[in-house]
Structure 1
Amino acid sequence: MELIDAILRAGAAKADEVEVYISEGESVSADLKRDRIENAGGSKGFGIGIRVVVGGRIGVSSTASPKDWEACLAAALASASLAHPQEWGGLPGPAPLPDAPQINDASLRLDAGTARSICMEMLEGAAEHDAAVTGGSASLARGKVTIANTSGILYEQERTSTGCSLECIHERSTGFEFDASPFMDLDPRHVGEQAAFFAEHGADAGEIETGDYDLVLSPVALSQFLDYVLEPALSGRNVHAGRSWLAGKLGETCIGEEISVFDDPSRRGLGSTRFDAEGVPARKITFFDHGVLAHYAYDLRTAYRYGQESTGSAVRAGPGGAPAIGVHTMVIDGPRDTVDDDRAVYVNDIVGAHTANPLTGDFSVELSNATWIEGGEFGEPVRSAMFAGNVFDLLGAVAAIGREERLVGSAVLPALRLNKQRLIGK
């Protein structure tokens, strides 16, 4: 608190407004090389981000050293002097915050032995199939963010996270699986079993003819399309700059009429929060309501520039740099049903989603660990196939939304069934 007070007092003497963002964390991890623990250790991190506003000019700077805060403040002021002025309505003041989502596991202990045990459980699961482990990892982390400004905000939030992953190979076929959570509720054995299963299963893969097929997108595959196409398209900055297919479409039906898409920071997830990275109270934002585009996402800077209101959508990867527009916990909802009773190609993951065009929604990706599925059971694996199309058309062709959900990054997602999608095979 003394550090924050010193920065705010010194900054207020030279700037109209000052914001301080402090991120501190601690973690332990263990890494596998093949079936042995290669290394295990811990790390600590600390960072200060300072943002100043002078006559509508915004400057930012950061440092990992608390004793260098004065130089950091000077750098932020210098960057503001070089910035172009913009419309600015002020940093937010104190406001009621929503109820806290469960993102902090008080029982979590940062112990390298626990990380090692998670790795050993993954190896036990992998032993259920004929596949060799090539690598993997386990991690436990605890962190805290604090944000304060000259408008009177002082918020802090603690969170924990756990994660594990494993990669296996059988002949020339590979398999990968992971799990992540804010709590100590990972299922490492399942991670190992699934990674080894897909590696062994894929070794007998057959070719698929070019044609139209019913697909089941796993939550992992679906998340790739959301990360690289849908989220950027919902950004108010991209919309107003003409870099989004959704620009000018508020009130229009843009995806399937039974699908709703929203950001719900109160849902349990790795990005769940009570406030965004600028101190604006986080709240549920419905982007698509039964297929109709209802909102775009805004941070303060973009909202002021275009005469809008912040949606509490500012995020930071760390204290360095300025906040950016993002989502906290993306959710897709609608009528739930089984997605794999009837025969379809199950797409476990995709490769190349980063090449998709966020302006148009067009994509061309390679299927990874694809296999036929029917009656909830995996059948013949598919060697390789390309999947090309448009993400917005894809979300308009959803035939069913799976009943179960999975936490994938900053999203809670079901599997989706898509009918008559074009695959390019042999």
Structure 2
Amino acid sequence: MNSSTMDKYFDLVMKTAAADQTEIVIYTESSALTRFSNSAIHQNMAENNSAISIKSISNGKIGTAFTNKTDDRSIIDTVKAAEKNASLSPKDDDFKTLPTGKAVISTNGYIDDTAKASPGFRADVVADIIKLTDKHDLMAAGSFSTTAGLIGVANSLGAKSIGKITEANLNLVIIGADSSSYAEFYDKDVNNLRLESMVNKAIEKTLLSAGPKKVEPGKYDVILEPAAVADMLGFLAYSGLGAQAVREHRSFMNNNFGRRLISPLVSFWDDANDPETIGLPFDFEAVPKQKVIFFDKGIAKNVVYDSYTANREGKTSTGHALPAPNTFGPVPLNMIMKAGNSSIEEMVDSKQKGILVTRFHYTNFEDPLKTIFTGMTRDGTFLIENGKIVSGIKNLRFTQSILAALDKVEMITKDRHLVKA
């Protein structure tokens, strides 16, 4: 499917629709995945799929319907199904209107080499990983995926956006007799993969964490690598950084706007237009995405809006609508933390006693309002003594308030890494 085909489907839906307002979202994806375990490829798969979502609004009643068939008859039937569902739904007094807007066409997130990456290319990458791990009698496991997507959104009020996007994602676990390490590559451009340095660093961590020791439960200064930080920010994003969460009083931002909640060293925001991230410049209502600052030097500032929450509260949509039907509200998808001026090596050197965490595992909230979450460390947890990593340690369970942890931040690295949260 291409943008011309999408325009044809847009026209068909608008000609067919009898509702007061109509919205169509089209998503087509070509994805391929190579999985490996025990230093051998065990699965290779590819999928091409398209999905079409129709939202119909009449007299304040909203209905949705879906299909993955792209022939004219199926699309027409889906429009009629959405209109029937709307007629059977209760009136939503909070709904005002779908958004209007000018067309947004984006190809900035699309890299042809990523879209055309072959099974042979992915297999060669895995083979190179195994060659490096074999030298140390270690095992490699993980997955390497490449994806190309085309997304189009239009409505009967004239809003229309179409965007192309690619993703390359390599997840790698290197396993020793009693230790393991984790590394990840996530980028729109597969050519940015620096495989040898990535694998060698993971090998070094696996060897360093061999013979892990047990440490006593207690309070430790902790250094978090990017995967662990991304996990925490992801929990904040979906639980409390949207306008619907604030309205329903399930957000930690409630009654805290303008207050300092975390360290002045910490600032983070959402910005899909930042070239260092992967994201479309519009949301699932065709509204251009805006940069939204959540915390500026530790002070709580803003949350994201879609057209529904914005119209209800007299605000402007920030372009953060999720696909319909969506009762959860808007959510930020491209979180960015402001860089610091340090490095992990400098952090380790500054600690007399601490723990270095590669990533978390099996995390979940205990109390979203207090941002208390719990989980385990995994794939590389290290004891720091007198400014040196002295050994690996057995994985630990933790229970911690995310905001309280961010309030204790002393150093942030100047290098940032893109993580698929």
- Range into which the TM-score falls when normalised by the shorter chain: 0.7 to 0.9
Of residues 356, 363, 378, the one that matches 1:353 is 363
Q: How does 1:378-393 map to 2 (within 5 A)?
A: 378-393=389-404
Pair 1:169-2:175 in alignment: yes
Q: Write the distance in 1 (CA, Å) between the matches of 2:133 and 2:58.
A: 58
Q: Which amino acid aligns with 1:342?
A: S
Per-residue deviation, 1:373: 4.5
TM-score, structure 1 as length reference? 0.87
Please state whether the residue corresponding to 2:370 is helix, strand or coil: coil
2:331 equivalent among 323, 326, 329: 326
Q: CA deviation at 1:404?
A: 0.9
Is the Cα contact below 8 Å between 2:284 and 2:322 reproduced in 1? Answer: yes
- AA paired with 2:110? N
SS in 2 for 1:367: strand
- Using structure 2 for the length normalisation, give the TM-score: 0.88
The correspondence of residues 254-269 of structure 1 with structure 2, limited to 5 A, is 254-269=261-276
Letter in 1 for 2:212: A
Measure the CA separation in 2 of the matches of 1:132 and 1:406: 25
Tell me the secondary structure at the aligned position of residue 411 of structure 2. Answer: strand
Tell me how far 1:394 sits from its aligned partner. Answer: 1.0
Distance 1:340 1:7, change over 3 A: same
CA contact (8 A) 1:220 1:349 kept: yes
The 2-side partners of 1:190 and 1:60 are apart by 48
Question: AA paired with 1:260?
Answer: S
| Among candidates 54, 61, 81, match of residue 75 of structure 1 | 81
Mark the CA change 1:270 to 1:66 in structure 2 (over 3 Å): closer, same or farther: farther
Q: Given the alignment, which residue of 110, 116, 123 partners 1:116?
A: 123
In angstroms, what is the RMSD of aligned CA positions?
2.5
Matching residue of 2:414: 403
Equivalent of residue 53 in structure 2, options 49, 53, 65: 49
Amino acid at match of 1:222: V
Contact 2:59 2:91 in 1 (8 A): no
Alignment counterpart, residue 65 of structure 2, candidates 61, 65, 72: 61
Paired letter, 2:298: G
- Summarize deviations over 1:13-40 as a string: whole Å, max 9, x none: x211111111112122222232222233
Whether 2:21 is the aligned partner of 1:5: answer: no
Aligned partner of 1:178 among 180, 184, 203:
184
Ranges in structure 1 where 5+ consecutive residues have no aligned partner: 411-426
Whichever residue aligns with residue 166 of structure 2, its letter is T
1:252 aligns to 2:259 (yes or no) = yes
1:284 equivalent in structure 2: 291
Instruction: Work out whether residues 202 and 383 of structure 1, in 8 Å CA contact, stay in contact via their aligned partners in 2.
Output: no
Distance apart, 1:191 and its partner CA: 4.3
Task: From the superposition, tell whether residues 190 and 355 of structure 1 become closer, same or farther in structure 2 (CA, over 3 Å).
Answer: farther
For residue 155 of structure 1, the aligned residue among 147, 157, 161 is 161
Higher share of residues assigned strand: 1
- The answer as to whether partners of 1:263 and 1:328 remain within 8 angstroms in 2 is yes
Please name the residue that 2:3 is paired with.
none
1:134-192 deviation per Cα after TM superposition (whole angstroms, max 9, x unaligned): x3222222111111111112221111111112233322433332211100112333444
Q: Tell me if 1:140 matches 2:160.
A: no
Listed one character per residue, the Cα deviations across residues 32-55 of structure 1 (whole Å, up to 9, x for unaligned) are 232222233422111101111112
3-state SS in 1 of match to 2:214: coil
- 2:102 matched to 1:95? yes
SS in 2 for 1:401: coil
Letter in 2 for 1:333: K
Could you tell me how far 1:93 is from its partner in structure 2? 1.9
Asked whether the equivalents of residues 51 and 322 of structure 1 are also in contact (C-alpha less than 8 Å), the reply is: no
Counterpart code for 1:389: Q
Aligned to 2:4: none
Q: 2:268, 2:296 within 8 Å by CA — same for their partners in 1?
A: yes
Decide which moves more: 354-363 or 22-31: 354-363
What is the letter of the counterpart of residue 393 of structure 2? V
> Does the 8 Å CA contact 1:30/1:40 hold for their aligned counterparts?
yes
| Equivalent residue, structure 1, for 2:31 | 27
> Any idea what SS the aligned residue of 2:258 has?
coil
Distance in 1 (CA, whole Å) between partners of 2:408 and 2:383 is: 20
1:204, 1:138 → 2: CA distance? 29
Secondary structure class of the residue paired with 1:408: coil
Q: Give the letter for the 1:42 counterpart.
A: A
Which of 282, 290, 305 aligns to 1:275? It is 282
Worse overlay, 43-52 or 173-182? 173-182
8 Å contact kept, 2:107–2:165? no
What is the distance in 2 between the residues matched to 1:21 and 1:230?
A: 24
CA contact (8 A) 1:261 1:289 kept: yes
Alpha-carbon distance between aligned partners in 2 of 1:152 and 1:222, rounded to the nearest angstrom: 40
The 1:403/1:270 distance shift into structure 2, 3 A limit, reads closer
